[in-house]
């Protein structure tokens, strides 16, 4: 089992796409709630952590970390 760690600034992909057509989000807050900003339209959502962890299918690695 793999445990993902998320931090502010991470780009993640979600199962469902936003109405604007994008599936990519930037994490702007982590904690009890996650705040995600849609990269397609800039819409922000706040989701409880467990829910956010379920929605997110993968983290887009765009830098040195390679895992
Ligand atoms: Zn959107």
Cα of 23 vs centre of ligand 1, distance in Å, is 8
The model scores a pTM over 0.85: no
Supply the pLDDT for residue 62: 64
Q: What is the pLDDT of residue 5?
A: 87
Residue 21's pLDDT is 97
Contacts of 19 (CB under 8 A, 6+ apart): none
Tens digit of each residue's pLDDT (9 = 90 or more) over 18-32: 999 999 999 999 999
Give me ligand 1 centre to Cα 41, in Å.
4
- Residue 24: Cβ within 10 Å count: 16
From the list 14, 7, 5, the residue with the least C-alpha distance to 57 is 14
| Chain segment 40-67, per-residue pLDDT in tens | 999 999 999 999 999 999 999 765 555 4
Distance 11 CA to ligand 1 centre (A): 14
Beta-ladder partners of 6:
none
| Domains of the chain by residue range | 11-58
Q: What is the distance between the alpha carbons of residues 45 and 65, in angstroms, rounded to a whole number?
A: 26
């Amino acid at each position: 089992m793999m445990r993902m760690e998320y931090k502010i600034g991470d780009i993640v992909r979600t199962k469902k796409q936003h109405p604007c057509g994008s599936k990519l989000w930037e994490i702007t807050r982590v904690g009890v709630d996650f705040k995600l900003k849609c990269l397609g339209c800039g819409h922000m959502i706040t989701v409880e952590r467990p829910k956010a962890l379920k929605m997110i299918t993968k983290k887009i690695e765009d830098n040195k970390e390679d895992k």
